[in-house]
Amino acid sequence: MSDSRTSADGGMETSYGFREVPTGEKQGLVNEVFHKVAKRYDIMNDVMSMGMHRAWKDAMIAALNPRKEAGYKVLDVAGGTGDIAFRIVEASNRQAHATVLDINGSMLAVGAERAEKKKLSDNLTFVEANAEDLPFQSNSFDAYTIAFGIRNVPRIEVALSEAYRVLKRGGRLLVLEFSEVELPILDKVYDAWSFNAIPKFGKAITGDAEPYQYLVESIRKFPNQENFAAMIRMAGFSRVTYTNYTGGIAALHSGWKL
């Protein structure tokens, strides 16, 4: 159930939105998208999701229920501009430590600036690295979170096995991602919004529609709830469950390293 597959000429291919590209090329294309949108990323999140991403992220943190103790360590992968890590630190009464890891320095720079303004920097570390090759020792973190990040990673199964490796025994994986809409009328409205409105808003706000075309296409290519749960189990996680948000527009998957 891998995202990568073999092409007619024997090379490995994966989806970049609706296009098939060699697996080795996807990351460069994704990086271009996030370099372009970094400065407008937060405002576009509110526009694209009509503010709903905030409620979904709050629900993710409520599900995590971070321990309010100084030794509690979370790794937030594809952490971008810091939304998840900030919420974790705040929910732990500023006790927990969160490492924000992202492959894109432009996104991390915005995150570090926001952290300074919120006076959260003491509880945060920013690391530029690839989710497929985490620069941490095995069994290091109490929790691994990734929000709206995993569908951008070329080899999802590699990222999941890295997640499993760096978690401590008893550690928790939480993945928030766009998913398959399971309500009949909502899916039509959502399609119209995604394919017509989002690229236009993207162009109006950032001057470029292409990154937003990729974002909406990549959502449609991502495995549905059950298939993604199966990938998480394949990586070794136990007690894998998911919860739909807003009729399945987003879903939170949970697994444990037991």
Ligand X SMILES: C[S@@+](CC[C@H](N)C(=O)[O-])C[C@H]1O[C@@H](n2cnc3c(N)ncnc32)[C@H](O)[C@@H]1O
State which of positions 77-96 bind ligand X (CB under 6 A).
77-80, 83-84
Question: By CB under 6 A, which span of 61-69, 145-153, 161-169, 188-196 interacts with ligand X?
Answer: 145-153
Among 15, 23, 49, 152, binds ligand X (CB under 6 A): 152
Q: How far apart are CA 137 and CA 236, in angstroms?
A: 18
> Is the Cβ of residue 35 or residue 183 nearer to ligand X in the bound state?
35
Decide if residue 160 touches ligand X (CB under 6 A).
no
Mask: binding to ligand X, 194-223, rule CB under 6 A, as x and -? ------------------------------
**Of 34 and 237, CB closest to ligand X:** 34
- Window 115-134: contact mask with ligand X (x via CB under 6 A): ---------------xxx--
CA 75 from centre of chain? 12
**In this chain, which of 64, 91, 97, 102 binds ligand X, going by CB under 6 A?**
102
Q: Interface residues for ligand X in 25-54 (CB under 6 A)?
A: 27, 30, 34
Find the shortest distance in angstroms from Cβ 213 to ligand X: 14
Number of residue whose CB is nearest ligand X: 80
- Interface with ligand X by CB under 6 A: which range of 74-82, 134-142, 163-171, 241-249? 74-82
**Applying CB under 6 A, which residues contact ligand X?**
27, 30, 34, 77-80, 83-84, 102-104, 107, 130-132, 147-149, 152-153
